Chain A
Amino acid sequence: QQQVKQSPQSLIVQKGGISIINCAYENTAFDYFPWYQQFPGKGPALLIAIRPDVSEKKEGRFTISFNKSAKQFSLHIMDSQPGDSATYFCAASRLSGGGADGLTFGKGTHLIIQP
């Protein structure tokens, strides 16, 4: 059972455009939603993360929008640049309560920014 669904699988955006990647989750116990960026030949690296007590978090050109009632969150990349071309993973985990859950990842989005 996939707990985090990510779309689209691949995305091509023109330089300067807005890239939007969407994720939906099922487990209402999730309370931490990070996005990871992965360049070819490298391990994923944390890009930006949000907790459900806010609806939006912005860091530079990257914004997470979070809709708790719809159980959805999305990554927006403004003024997309060729250097943003990478694979993006959304993820979710449970930071509160008992247990030691790991991150549950979406399947990834391969983003290409065309010059």
Chain B
Amino acid sequence: EVQMVESGGGLVQPGGSLRLSCAASGFTLNSHWMSWVRQAPGKGLEWVANIGPDGSQKTYADSLKGRLTISRDNAKNSLNLQMNSLRAEDTAVYYCVRQHVGAKTVFDYWGQGTLVTISS
């Protein structure tokens, strides 16, 4: 069974940093692009960043570029998102998402999400 389990969310003060992690199982991680997608409370979905199968290709949403670093460790079946200079508007549930093989930026499996709250 394909599964992604996120961790690392919590309450952080504005200007702080946070590292999210995603443990993947049930599939061959190094065959897939992986993404982070977020959803602010009561709002829609926003793609944040993605990373290629071997970690050499990374893309970030323009609105977040410079504050994020996405990484992966295929040997440990894990995906990470380092977030810096956090703002209130970064408050959201962050989903770890697998991208469909052969279909560009199609999100075929989602984790349950981890809540990040930015507040003083």
A and B associate in one complex: no
Which residues on A are within 8 Å of B, measured CB to CB? none
